Amino acid sequence: MKIRKAKIADVEAIYKLINHYAKQGLMLPRPRAVLYEALREFTVAEEEGQVVGAGSLHIIWSDLAEIRALAVDPRFTRRGIGRHLVEAFLAEARELGLARVFALTYQVEFFLKCGFKLIPKEKLPQKVWKECINCPEFPNCKEEAVIIYLPQGG
Ligand SMILES: CC(C)(COP(=O)(O)OP(=O)(O)OC[C@H]1O[C@@H](n2cnc3c(N)ncnc32)[C@H](O)[C@@H]1OP(=O)(O)O)[C@@H](O)C(=O)NCCC(=O)NCCS
pLDDT tens, 61-81? 999 999 999 999 999 999 999
pTM: 0.95
Across all residues in the chain, what is the average pLDDT? 94
Longest distance between any two alpha carbons in the chain, whole Å: 42
List, edge to edge, every strand of the sheet that includes 64-72.
2-5, 42-47, 50-61, 64-72, 100-105, 144-149, 117-119
For residues 31-57, average pLDDT: 97
Which residue's CA lies nearest to atom 7 of ligand 1?
A: 82
Count CB-CB contacts under 10 A for residue 129. Answer: 14
- The one-letter code for the residue type at 45 is A
Instruction: Report the DSSP beta bridge partners of residue 56.
Output: 42, 68
Which carries the bigger pLDDT value, residue 91 or residue 138? 91
The predicted pLDDT at position 125 comes to 87
pLDDT value at position 138? 80
State whether the beta carbon of 106 lies less than 6 angstroms from ligand 1: yes
Using the predicted structure, report yes or no on whether residue 154 has a pLDDT greater than 70.
Answer: no
Q: How confident is the model at residue 129 (pLDDT cuts 50, 70, 90)?
A: confident
pLDDT of residue 153: 60
**From the CA of 66, how far away is ligand 1's center (Å)?**
17
The CB of 103 under 6 Å from ligand 1? The reply is yes
Ligand 1 geometric centre to CA of 110 (Å): 4
Q: Note the pLDDT of residue 73.
A: 98
Q: How far is the CA of 85 from the centre of ligand 1 (A)?
A: 11
Question: Which residue is closest in CA terms to ligand 1's atom 22?
Answer: 110
Average pLDDT of the segment spanning 41-66: 97
**Index of the ligand 1 atom closest to the CA of residue 111:** 16
